[in-house]
Structure 1
């Protein structure tokens, strides 16, 4: 056992040119935070090169479509107001789609279907949402074919 320690010390001296092995050397690891500034002294995050490209969602004081709403839609809005507020807030948009006026209801968070209603209140399809985010597959062209977008209502709470 003692012989192996001596050989190790001797081989260390040979490798380091006879200066002997250093002991109690402080070693920092990559997980240690730098003492000042960044690790390399230069900011690693580049400055933004363009303006924000994300369109903000309408604010609660947004201008709503002022056309007369059908009674079934007013009832639907009252239903939403009687429920707990969702985050993000429920929105109802109107569009022209397949030659007629439709209403697109965007529910709050997480895996909920959006619903597309005819002007008479009949459910046409669920264009998106659900576990896959692709809706029920009944109106896959809705996102491309819709026109004349108007905000009809957004939960103001």
Structure 2
């Protein structure tokens, strides 16, 4: 079974699109979801595998924090309010098993 990533590219910053393009299949994110968080549009990128942080980026691809993931699954602790404050989730890329 091969995996492909399906993305809605309209309105997604180029730097976010590059997080997927050119990556070997096994290193591509498990999904990207756009949110509103702290009065800005942000992108939550699920890491391709276990024990890796799932990072949150702003529209310039600067890392804000890792709300989840890592060895114990709680992220880096830099944005503990993400789950309660992030609004309007919009999946923009996700795994598509084929």
Task: Name the larger-Rg structure.
Answer: 1
Q: Distance in 2 between matches of 1:105 and 1:61?
A: 13
Q: Say which structure, 1 or 2, has more relative contact order (CA 8 Å, 6+ apart).
A: 2
Offset of residue 129 of structure 1:
0.7
Residue of structure 2 aligned with 1:114, choices 54, 58, 61: 54
Preserved CA contact (<8 Å) 1:97 1:146:
yes
Q: CA-atom RMSD, angstroms? A: 2.3
- Is 1:75–2:15 an aligned residue pair? no
Q: Which of the two has greater strand per residue?
A: 2
The farther-off stretch of 104-113 and 142-151 is: 104-113
TM-score (norm 1): 0.53
Preserved CA contact (<8 Å) 2:52 2:69:
yes
Q: Which of the two has greater helix per residue?
A: 1
Moved over 6 A (4+): none
**Structure 2: gaps spanning 5 or more residues:** none
Counterpart in the other structure of 1:21:
none
Q: Relative to structure 1, is the Cα distance of residues 75 and 61 closer, same or farther in structure 2, using a 3 angstrom cutoff?
A: closer
- 1:52-131 aligned within 5 A: 65=8, 67-79=10-22, 82-85=23-26, 90-131=30-71
TM-score (norm 2): 0.81
Preserved CA contact (<8 Å) 2:67 2:80:
yes
What whole-Å deviation, never above 9, does each CA across 1:20-69 have from its counterpart, x for those lacking one? Answer: xxxxxxxxxxxxxxxxxxxxxxxxxxxxxxxxxxxxxxxx797x556422
